Amino acid sequence: MTGYLDAMRSTLAEIIGERDRVVALALPDNLSPAVAPVVSDAVEQLIAFQGRRYARLYLDRIGRFAHRRDVGDALLIEIAQLLAMRMAYEDPIRIAQLALAEAAIGPDGVATNRVDRKCRFRIDELVSALPIVVADPMLDVIGALGWQRLPVKMRFNATGWLGIRRLRIESWLRRWRMLSIRYAKERIWVERWLHMIDRCLAKRPEAVWTIVQSATMIRGYGDPYLYGMANWTLIIDSLVKPVFAGALTLPDLSAAIAEARTAALPDRRQTALKSAIAAIRTRASAGTVPASAMP
């Protein structure tokens, strides 16, 4: 029983942020004057998003590339900015945080700026922002009913007392974010993206900028976010991983990814993207290049 109570106290301390206040944050050593401000800004952004422990995770991730000789300042800045963008993903909690920040609530509780934003989420996306213990059974029910893609409109309104109060409640829910299904999925995706960058530096360094910038495929929320995630995964699994493993030969990996991205449409079946990838792989097997790549 004592061990159980200790575990409960530890979890509660994590949720209410008691431990967060004592987390030390230090930038990786020897960051250049060009990189350090970018990383510092990202740290402040992620503290606002989730707290100091989350910002330290960002610093740990940046530290993997900060001292590599094959990563120059420009590339490190790109990684730092895109990593911060993906770690501060747009769930309903984040949008509420941004709405409050934009509204600039004064001491009198009145918004300095008018904010009234309407967003369209999927119901499974909203449920995935809840703690796993709550979300899992709800997703089972939603799946059984076939409601996964049911659209849900939410309003983030800071034009009155009630709207501001609601935004504050929604923002407070960030303390539960790290227990959610969405957080677990985002963490896996970020680690995979960073792993692809590392593999690219080792196997195909000339294509590393393309791999880094592939993170821009995944943005926003709702269907665009889900389509972007699915398309990114298909390109990585069908082109990038086989090249790194030596199972597919693509002399110009960056061009192949760019060609695939032009076909990465908001299509649940990914018809155009699958056709483009099949064509790229067929040409690779035949040892030919697309006409657009010929001099």
> Residue 84: inside a domain, yes or no?
yes
Kindly state whether residues 275 and 199 are assigned to the same domain. yes
How far apart are alpha carbons 28 and 64 in whole angstroms? 9
Kindly state whether residues 148 and 212 are assigned to the same domain. no
Average confidence (pLDDT) over 147-167: 90
Q: Could you tell me how many residues make up the chain? A: 295
| pLDDT number for residue 13 | 57
Per-residue tokens: 212:
């880094």
Kindly state whether residues 160 and 184 are assigned to the same domain. no
> Residue 166: inside a domain, yes or no?
yes
Of all residues in the chain, the percent with pLDDT exceeding 90 is 74
List pLDDT tens digits, range 207-235. Answer: 999 999 999 999 999 999 999 999 999 99
Kindly state whether residues 144 and 204 are assigned to the same domain. no
On the question of pLDDT at 6 being above 70, the answer is no
| pLDDT number for residue 112 | 86
How far apart are alpha carbons 238 and 245 in whole angstroms? 11
Per-residue confidence band for 144, with pLDDT thresholds at 50, 70 and 90: very high
> Residue 110: inside a domain, yes or no?
yes
| pLDDT number for residue 15 | 53
Kindly state whether residues 285 and 198 are assigned to the same domain. yes
List pLDDT tens digits, range 277-294. Answer: 999 999 998 765 554 544
Residue type, 240: V
Q: Are 242 and 236 in contact (CB under 8 A)?
A: no
> Residue 295: inside a domain, yes or no?
no
Torsion over CA: 64, 129, 182, 4 (sign): positive
Kindly state whether residues 34 and 48 are assigned to the same domain. yes
**Residues of the domain holding 142:** 92-177
| pLDDT number for residue 109 | 77
Kindly state whether residues 73 and 104 are assigned to the same domain. no
Give me the residue label for tokens 């880094």.
Answer: 212
> Residue 294: inside a domain, yes or no?
no
| pLDDT number for residue 23 | 76
Kindly state whether residues 6 and 46 are assigned to the same domain. yes
Give me the residue label for tokens 């910002």.
Answer: 55
pTM equals 0.88
> Residue 276: inside a domain, yes or no?
yes
Average confidence (pLDDT) over 157-183: 91
List pLDDT tens digits, range 12-38. Answer: 555 555 555 667 888 998 899 999 999
Residue type, 263: A
Last residue of a domain, one of 143, 177, 211: 177
On the question of pLDDT at 104 being above 70, the answer is yes
Kindly state whether residues 268 and 284 are assigned to the same domain. yes
Kindly state whether residues 146 and 218 are assigned to the same domain. no
- Domain count for the chain, please give it: 3
User: Helices 271-286 and 222-235, interaxial angle, to 10°?
Assistant: 10
Kindly state whether residues 147 and 204 are assigned to the same domain. no
Per-residue confidence band for 160, with pLDDT thresholds at 50, 70 and 90: confident
In the predicted model, what is the mean pLDDT of the chain? 89
Last residue of a domain, one of 151, 177, 203: 177
Produce one character per residue of 24-39: b if its CB has 16 or more CB atoms within 10 Å, e if not. eeeebeebeeebeebb
The Cβ-side half-sphere exposure at 7, using a 13 Å CA radius, reads 4
- Helix, coil or strand: residue 76: helix
On the question of pLDDT at 2 being above 70, the answer is no
Kindly state whether residues 283 and 186 are assigned to the same domain. yes
| pLDDT number for residue 271 | 96
Element (H, E) at 119: strand 116-122
| pLDDT number for residue 7 | 37
Last residue of a domain, one of 177, 206, 224: 177
On the question of pLDDT at 11 being above 80, the answer is no
Neighbour count for residue 284 (Cβ, 10 Å):
18
Of all residues in the chain, the percent with pLDDT exceeding 70 is 89
| pLDDT number for residue 8 | 44
How far apart are alpha carbons 244 and 250 in whole angstroms? 10
